[in-house]
A and B are shown apart, each in its own frame.
Chain A
């Protein structure tokens, strides 16, 4: 008998604590599959954030150094500069990356740090219970924007990937979703490309995931997956935002 499907080696045999229908577990699995496929498990170091993925080290069977809230790109910079031949990725949510850690993310991209950032955009602060995030859509209700996000009072959703794409040091940025099998396959390709670029010394790469959060969106998993397509991806269009990989390794 031939084994056709199994747990990636880079994932531990632990049940995810994520809510039913959450996008995190899919993303975890995709990263682990890519690490296995590239054969880099032994030399990959991950940096989990503060947020829903704070105990990602319970799932990834690779070396991991937890970062204080928002500082993932700074911590990853310290690791990568010390061990340039390791594959270093930071895994961050939207509050972590686009609010408290904006400066660290922006400047790591601008320095062209040869790291990969996995950016989970679920349009809310998940772990703390569904507060408004920088990426919360206009009109979207959250516990800190109960009537819906108001442009006048709360500002606009931040398109971090587009902003970062203007920086010379950022070499590859793609926005993906994990709400359908087709999108999941695209996302897997994007992660692989980002890691491959890092291995080739190309520079800063970031993959944003529109990640469904049924619990805090107060939807069923199926409704949440639909909402990604019908509402969220209008504000945050999926696709390649920048690919300067052909420029080769950063000078």
Chain B
């Protein structure tokens, strides 16, 4: 099944009952899947919105009214959605936002890219907030993480972003849908009319500085809890590794291909793959620095996660970067050559030092 369609199916199975979207390549199949299937689902609403901005604000309304709600887009459209994502975070409303990244900046192109890492992991819109960012690396993981995204959004009442790229969205792989967990979302957060009781309001505007500050610290404490509890990463052939690649999503798949080739050549390379980009598996990466000296950050951009890896290592170990931005899909072969170059150079230097010593 195709990645984009898998996200749609997983969302519906997870109980998503509101979707608003706007056409943009390479994620159209997701919008089309929701058009085809969500209206057939009991209580399901699909709206083709007039813009990305309208779509995310419809999601805001639907989420406040108690629906599991989702919107999706690709890079330029995600820029437009930032107003709404910031509002969702401020209002503490759950929602799932899917970004099937393409080349940028500007309109860029429609090819796979990882250029939106900064935007996704630093909040993206204005103000002091974070979104949980999940980075699937297979169609199976698109299904699993989409379902998890709804649970995480509810648990922390915060927007969750699925950050994949055109490759993930377009590729087809077999998939098994897991059984979704029943929704746990306290009724007290749902806006449905005051009934006979007290009225409530949800707002992002807090004019008083001290109260606004309190709200910011409250959000911050929530982000600390998320950082403590929700970090996910995968390791691959790290047990005997002398060199570690750090890559996520499509780049991590390519890295696995390169690791296979390197190991055939006798280079002991492993992979650490962040599954959550925010919160970032900094501690796991730092721990590896106790026994691995060289890290290669591999991304389909000019070096964004690179900064988080450097922050995690805080000077421990040498960090190299290999990246291809703009929608170029790097091959395992070119990454292999890069790894070979750095290991050879490092070993050459070591042997030279030995000779000189």
Contacts and interface: CB of A to CB of B under 8 A. Distances in A.
Interface string B43-71: 00101011101110111111111110100
A57 B201 contact: yes
Contacts, number: 139
A47 B62 CA distance: 13
A81 B62 contact: yes
B50 A62 contact: no
A81 B203 CA distance: 20
A71 B201 contact: no
B62 A82 contact: yes
A79 B57 contact: no
Contacts of A47: 61
A35 to B, nearest CB: 11
A43 interface: yes
A165 B266 CA distance: 74
B202 A66 contact: yes
Contact of B61 (A50, A57, A78, A103): A78
A65 to B, nearest CB: 5
A61 B194 contact: yes
Nearest to B64: A65
Interface in A105-157: 106-107, 111
B61 A104 contact: no
Nearest to A102: B50
Name the residue among A45, A48, A61, A63 with the largest chain B CB count within 10 angstroms.
Answer: A63
A112 to B, nearest CB: 12
Contacts of B47: 77, 81, 111
A65 B202 contact: yes
B205 A42 contact: no
Interface residues of A, number: 37
Nearest to B62: A78
A60 B200 CA distance: 10
A79 B201 CA distance: 14
A46 to B, nearest CB: 9
Contacts of B51: 103-104
A75 interface: yes
Contacts of A64: 199-203
B44 to A, nearest CB: 10
Interface in A41-61: 41-45, 47-48, 50, 54-55, 57, 60-61
Nearest to B69: A78
Contact of A65 (B50, B59, B83, B201): B201
B114 interface: no
B45 A82 contact: yes
A76 interface: yes
B194 A103 contact: no
Name the residue among B53, B91, B207 with the largest chain A CB count within 10 angstroms.
Answer: B53
A86 interface: yes
A68 B84 contact: yes
B66 A103 contact: no
A104 B50 contact: yes
Nearest to A87: B193
A104 B54 contact: yes
Contacts of A207: none
A41 B62 CA distance: 20
Contacts of A71: 53-54, 57, 60, 83-84
A68 B87 contact: yes
A79 B196 contact: no
A76 B58 CA distance: 7
A211 B200 CA distance: 27
A76 B87 CA distance: 15
A164 to B, nearest CB: 14
A65 B75 CA distance: 28
B61 A79 contact: yes
Contacts of B263: none
Given A74-B49, A78-B58, A78-B62, A66 B193 contact: no
Given A41-B194, A42-B196, A61-B199, A66 B205 contact: yes
Contacts of A50: 205
A44 B57 contact: no
B191 interface: yes
B150 interface: no
A50 to B, nearest CB: 7
Nearest to B87: A68
B204 interface: yes
B18 interface: yes
A239 B67 CA distance: 38
Interface string B178-200: 00000000000001111111011
A26 B197 CA distance: 25
Nearest to A60: B199
Contacts of A25: none
B54 A83 contact: no
Contacts of A107: 49-50, 54
B321 to A, nearest CB: 37
18 contacts: A41-B194, A42-B194, A42-B195, A42-B197, A43-B195, A57-B201, A64-B201, A67-B60, A74-B58, A75-B57, A78-B57, A78-B67, A79-B191, A81-B58, A81-B62, A86-B65, A86-B193, A104-B50
Given A63-B199, A66-B203, 8 more contacts: A42-B197, A43-B195, A55-B203, A61-B194, A68-B83, A68-B84, A76-B61, A79-B191
8 pairs of A and B residues whose beta carbons are closest in the complex: A78-B61, A57-B201, A78-B62, A74-B57, A82-B65, A71-B57, A66-B203, A107-B50
Interface of A: 41-45, 47-48, 50, 54-55, 57, 60-68, 71, 74-83, 86, 103-104, 106-107, 111
